């Protein structure tokens, strides 16, 4: 009987001892990050952990085999959902000099035409100033991808394409665009997609490579309008603390190893 109590007591102590380690492993710091608000055709601006960052990027669009000549067309327009306007009351967000604090939000529009019905599609993808493919690096561990889309009731579907740090691509089905006007679409990222590694830096994240819109084979294709705005992610930015964490900073590495091509802090 006494031996049984001793075993139970030791088991309880072990459980309490292990609890902090387990809690640390599963801790989360969820942050909503605007990956692109489409404010500029040549640059994206976003805020990560309270720091405003900028990156030279452009969106390009291409169509599938039967796309009509000179299509699809791409444009930045001064229009976005009323729900986003209500998030930024002008009266409450004014700088001392009278200028507005409201972040500039535009929408990226695509006008597509195809010469025949079928399995048509167009692809939106980011490029750098030289025109080379330049996927968006998504920080932390991405839990969800969030995008506002304007549909015009055509039977079309939306896909979000991402790639993990090993170069393996994944396609996320965002569903049908057969609706009228603006709608907020959210795509959960499966936990099975690897976004961390054992070695430092632990967080490797994902890359958003392209956005694809496909037409159903029986849908008319003589002119389709689709608009996108406020591309966001719900991201876990928690990182377990350790001594020497600042040595992962790219500035630190470049200071001592300027010829190192790998950005360890990415």
Structurally, the chain folds into a number of domains equal to 1
Token readout for 229 is 């705005």
**Predicted local distance difference test score (pLDDT) of residue 203:** 82
Asked if residue 17 belongs to a domain, the reply is no
Cβ atoms of residues 116 and 210 within 8 Å: no
Check which CATH number belongs to the domain holding 241 and give it: 2.60.120.260
Pick from 3-17, 90-104, 107-121 the range whose average pLDDT is largest: 107-121
**Predicted local distance difference test score (pLDDT) of residue 100:** 59
Instruction: Name which of 15-29, 78-92, 96-110, 163-177 the model is least confident about.
Output: 15-29
Per-residue confidence band for 24, with pLDDT thresholds at 50, 70 and 90:
very low
Per-residue confidence band for 20, with pLDDT thresholds at 50, 70 and 90:
very low
Asked if residue 13 belongs to a domain, the reply is no
Asked if residue 116 belongs to a domain, the reply is yes
Residues forming beta bridges with residue 126, ordered by sequence position: 59
Asked if residue 73 belongs to a domain, the reply is yes
Asked if residue 249 belongs to a domain, the reply is yes
Query: Which is more confidently placed, 35 or 10?
Result: 35
**Predicted local distance difference test score (pLDDT) of residue 265:** 44
Asked if residue 134 belongs to a domain, the reply is yes
Instruction: Name which of 22-26, 82-86, 214-218, 223-227 the model is least confident about.
Output: 22-26
Range of the domain at 130: 32-256
Per-residue confidence band for 90, with pLDDT thresholds at 50, 70 and 90:
low
Asked if residue 146 belongs to a domain, the reply is yes
Asked if residue 265 belongs to a domain, the reply is no
Question: Does the structure show a pLDDT above 60 at 75?
Answer: yes
Summarize the confidence of residues 200-216 as an average pLDDT: 93
Percent of the chain with pLDDT over 70: 80
Query: Which is more confidently placed, 32 or 120?
Result: 120
**Predicted local distance difference test score (pLDDT) of residue 95:** 63
Going by C-alpha positions, the residue among 178, 159, 162, 160 that lies closest to residue 170 is 162
């Amino acid at each position: 009987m006494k031996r049984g109590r001793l075993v139970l007591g030791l088991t309880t102590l072990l459980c309490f001892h292990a609890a902090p380690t387990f809690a640390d492993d599963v801790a989360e710091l969820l942050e909503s990050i605007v990956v692109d608000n489409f404010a500029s055709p040549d640059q994206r601006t976003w805020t990560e952990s309270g720091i405003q960052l900028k990156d030279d990027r452009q969106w390009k669009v291409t169509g599938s085999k039967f796309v009509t000549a000179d299509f699809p067309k791409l444009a930045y327009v001064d229009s976005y959902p009323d729900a986003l306007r209500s998030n930024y009351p002008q009266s409450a967000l004014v700088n001392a000099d009278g200028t507005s604090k409201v972040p500039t939000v535009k929408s990226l529009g695509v006008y597509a035409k195809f010469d025949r019905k079928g399995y048509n599609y167009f692809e939106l993808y980011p490029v750098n100033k030289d025109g080379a493919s330049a996927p968006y690096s998504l920080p932390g561990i991405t839990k969800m991808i969030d995008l506002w889309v304007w549909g015009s009731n055509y039977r079309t579907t939306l896909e979000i394409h991402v790639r993990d740090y090993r170069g393996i691509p994944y396609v996320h089905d965002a569903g049908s665009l057969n609706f009228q006007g603006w709608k907020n679409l959210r795509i959960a990222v499966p936990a099975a997609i690897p976004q961390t590694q054992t070695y430092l830096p632990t967080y490797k994240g994902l890359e958003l490579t392209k956005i694809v819109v496909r037409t159903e084979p029986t849908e008319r294709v003589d002119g389709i309008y689709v608009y996108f705005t406020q591309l966001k992610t719900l991201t876990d930015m928690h990182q377990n603390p350790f001594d020497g964490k600042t040595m992962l900073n790219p500035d630190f590495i470049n200071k001592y190893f300027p010829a190192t091509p790998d950005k360890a802090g990415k």
